[in-house]
């Protein structure tokens, strides 16, 4: 019954959080707690039919095999694909490194099962606790990111901000083209509804780029029949925060006070929304599709970026969980 009560309380707090502001990271945590304690409530019941017990037991077995064997192998393969298609770089190594880390944890855990020394159990158990905490946050944020990206306003915008991404010289690559195509869809829909939205293309010029991202994006939009007069160029930004801040300043200078939507890739939607909330900006964020092979590393990168925003909180919580575990093991 305790698990059920915690699950209900978490669900209520999740609902209230979403109603208050969909862009809060706490919403993801309450969603994760709701699912975890609802599952614990189900498996802790002793009045379940035998067939349902068998289904749950099989699901747990498959889940454990998938998390310990299939998932890391898939991540390693994806990491190799990323390196071949996108080149070397820490961001492109994330899925490979995560897969190797999971395999290492499984090996260490297996070693602890056949070693009865207390200090070994304490060390390995602490690693498992920290890994479980990180996994819980990742899955919670992933699920809520998907929910956030599939919900919210989709029409009625007076301005569209397109966040920049890297160029190939002066050419718009597929990742950025997806954002621009989504912006064109939104623009045409608003025009068909009788509105005259502005499209802000935001992005500065990198050291390896022939022109600024904003200039290349403007050319792309004109090639998709967006009127030049409807395009506003913001060519100074070098980060998502600057994309939003500088674009908002340009819109304010033009007297814009209507509804605004920011367009980025689907994996980047929730972090952009969280950042906009921190900057006290009222806007929606929608995403464009991303190539399948790019998603694992991209979601991992977004997760790390969200995680490091609250290092003290996560360190304290992990420390408390590990301390509780060690107290139980060593007592």
For residue 64, the model assigns a pLDDT of 77
Q: Domain check: are 126 and 176 in the same one?
A: no
**Domain range for 59:** 49-151+291-331
For residue 161, the model assigns a pLDDT of 96
The closest of 103, 226, 218, 233 to 172, measured between CA atoms, is: 218
The CATH number covering residue 244 comes to 3.40.50.620
Q: 263-312: per-residue pLDDT in tens?
A: 999 999 999 999 999 998 888 999 998 888 888 888 999 999 888 888 89
Q: For the residues 17-43, what does the mean pLDDT come to?
A: 92
DSSP string, 298-323: HHHHHHHHHHTTSHHHHHHHHHHHHH
Final residue in a domain of this structure, among 32, 47, 62: 47
For residue 44, the model assigns a pLDDT of 81
For residue 294, the model assigns a pLDDT of 86
Q: Domain check: are 168 and 261 in the same one?
A: yes
Backbone angles phi, psi at 298, to 5 degrees: -65, -45
Q: Domain check: are 324 and 260 in the same one?
A: no
Q: Domain check: are 174 and 228 in the same one?
A: yes
* Model confidence, pTM: 0.87
d(CA 35, CA 11): 9
Q: For the residues 154-173, what does the mean pLDDT come to?
A: 88
Which residue bears the tokens 């996108």?
A: 86
Minimum mean pLDDT range among 11-20, 113-122, 211-220, 278-287: 113-122
Q: For the residues 56-60, what does the mean pLDDT come to?
A: 80
Q: Domain check: are 171 and 139 in the same one?
A: no
Mean residue pLDDT across the chain: 89
Residue 122 in this model has a pLDDT that exceeds 80: yes
């Amino acid at each position: 019954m305790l698990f059920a009560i915690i699950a209900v309380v978490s669900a209520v707090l999740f609902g209230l959080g979403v109603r208050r502001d969909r862009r809060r990271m706490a919403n993801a945590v309450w969603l994760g707690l709701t699912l975890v304690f609802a599952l614990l409530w189900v498996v802790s019941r002793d009045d379940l039919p035998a067939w349902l017990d068998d289904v749950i037991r099989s699901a747990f077995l498959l889940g454990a095999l998938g998390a310990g064997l299939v998932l890391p192998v898939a991540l390693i393969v994806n990491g190799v694909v990323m390196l071949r298609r996108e080149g070397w770089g820490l961001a492109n190594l994330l899925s490979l490194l995560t897969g190797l880390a999971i395999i290492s944890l499984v090996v260490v855990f297996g070693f602890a099962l056949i070693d009865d020394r207390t200090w070994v159990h304490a060390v390995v158990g602490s690693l498992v606790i920290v890994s479980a905490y990180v996994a819980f946050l990742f899955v919670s944020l992933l699920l809520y990111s998907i929910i956030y990206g599939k919900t919210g306003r989709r029409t009625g915008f007076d301005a569209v901000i397109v966040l920049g991404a890297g160029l190939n010289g002066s050419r718009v690559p597929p990742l950025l083209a997806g954002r621009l195509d989504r912006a064109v869809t939104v623009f045409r829909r608003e025009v068909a509804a009788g509105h005259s939205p502005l499209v802000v293309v935001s992005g500065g010029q990198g050291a390896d780029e022939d022109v600024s991202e904003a200039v290349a994006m403007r050319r792309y939009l004109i090639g998709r029949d967006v009127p030049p007069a409807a395009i506003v160029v913001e060519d100074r930004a070098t980060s998502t925060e600057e994309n939003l801040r500088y674009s908002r300043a340009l819109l304010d200078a033009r007297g814009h006070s209507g509804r605004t939507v920011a367009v980025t890739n689907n994996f980047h939607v929730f972090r952009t929304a969280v950042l906009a909330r921190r900057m006290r900006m009222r806007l929606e964020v929608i995403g464009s599709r991303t190539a399948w092979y790019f998603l694992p590393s991209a979601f991992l990168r977004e997760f790390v970026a969200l995680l490091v925003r609250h290092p003290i909180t996560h360190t304290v919580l992990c420390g408390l969980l590990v301390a509780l575990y060690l107290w139980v093991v060593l007592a």
